[in-house]
A and B are shown apart, each in its own frame.
Chain A
Amino acid sequence: MSKLNILTKGFFKENPSLILVLGTCPTLAVTTSVNNALGMGAATTFVLLMSNILISMLKNVIPDKIRIPCFIVIIATFVSMIDLIIQGFLPALSASLGVFIPLIVVNCIVLGRAEAFASKNPVFDSLLDGLGMGIGFTISLVLIAAVREVLGAGSFMGFTFIPANYNMLLFVLAPGAFIVYGFVMAAVRQILNNVEAKRKAKQAKA
């Protein structure tokens, strides 16, 4: 696999929340506004990147039998770091993301990449993998958040352009999260299927 491929496979083809269906809790909970989604995406990317690098460096030191607890401690350390950083420098973001920042620890994406990729691959590849998966996660969060914020609050990144009387409040509330997530997931899967089918048709012609 080429280096570029390792980086970009997380964007759409193996997108963690839209294709692999990992990390669903933050995807549903923090996508009420694009700003929240960007904040959560950035925090998760940081944790993914750092834990992937460190675990890949330590992969020969960590005994195989207790690798999962070791991974969890490493991940929890970085999560505590980003939690304190956000509390210190971005108190508003910390208040709106709430318990979901410490919960990055149990985000299946982070542990999943540690187990499936970082513990078997060299440091630079793991770095690219962590970065790619983080960016893919951020893309999916922003996609869902954009739909929910525009329909539900009539604004985009805090800039309001639809008067409050015409908002569909449902989309910022809990049911909207499930419904928009479902539709975005279906749309992305359908588009990927179409692209794949076209590519195959082209290959068959050639």
Chain B
Amino acid sequence: MEYILMIIGAVLVNNIILVQFLGICPFLGVSSKVNTALGMGVAVLFVMTLATLVTSTLQMYVLVPLNITYLQTILFILVIASLVQMVEIVLKKMSPSLYKALGVFLPLITTNCAVLGIAIKVTEQPVIASHGFSILDSTLYAVAISIGFIVAIVLFAGLREQLELVEVPKGMKGVPIALLTAGILAMAFMGFSNLV
């Protein structure tokens, strides 16, 4: 039950993009078509799950025992950057078709604040309060959060595809009107706010 609530909370109530404001760059950058948005979402799911698994393990067995948590930011960003590079190389060799689908998005993810943001957030406060800090919980939370990312970016891409056909005042063209649309989408997501 705890896990179901946690997943609903991460996907709808604390949606990473529309409520927590993480990962806005890909949200605005790669959301002009539903297909590419879905590709980006799957790439984020892949990287965020792996990254949170690795960073939580490091936090538990390296940073805390050695009492060097002040190095967290440097260590995490290095781990994420090298992880992305590694995933790229492995995918290229193991599964060229998947690489073709996700390849272009992978380098973009290094500077995606969602990955580092979630990696840091799960270390700051435990995902399920009664369990304390746990690697399994953190990784599951990362999966749930990235599903929320996919939901938001795919919905938004659908809206933007329609937006292409509409006449917009000159100054509002492009990003400003997209931001207003995102604002209305965020308003819709506010409806979930007391769900859990």
- Interface residues of chain A, those whose CB is within 8 Å of chain B, are 21-22, 24-25, 28-29, 68-69, 72-73, 76-77, 79-80, 83-84, 99, 102-103, 105-108, 111, 170, 173-179, 181-183, 185-187, 189-190, 193
A76 and B179 contact, CB distance less than 8 A: no
* Subset of 12 A-B contacts with CB under 8 Å: A21-B175, A24-B28, A25-B21, A102-B72, A103-B116, A103-B117, A174-B189, A175-B183, A175-B184, A182-B179, A185-B176, A193-B170
In the bound complex, residues from chain B placing their C-beta under 8 Å from that of A193 are 170-171
A24 and B116 contact, CB distance less than 8 A: no
Main secondary structure of the interface of A (DSSP, over half): helix
In the complex, the chain A residue whose C-beta lies closest to that of B71 is A80
In the complex, the chain B residue whose C-beta lies closest to that of A29 is B21
- Interface residues of chain B, those whose CB is within 8 Å of chain A, are 18-25, 28, 70-74, 77-78, 81-82, 110-113, 116-117, 120-121, 124, 169-172, 175-180, 182-184, 186-187, 189-190
In the bound assembly, the distance between CA atoms of A28 and B19 in angstroms comes to 10
In the bound assembly, the distance between CA atoms of A108 and B176 in angstroms comes to 19
In the bound complex, residues from chain B placing their C-beta under 8 Å from that of A102 are 72-73, 116, 120
In the bound complex, residues from chain B placing their C-beta under 8 Å from that of A173 are 190
In the bound assembly, the distance between CA atoms of A102 and B176 in angstroms comes to 27
B172 and A186 contact, CB distance less than 8 A: yes
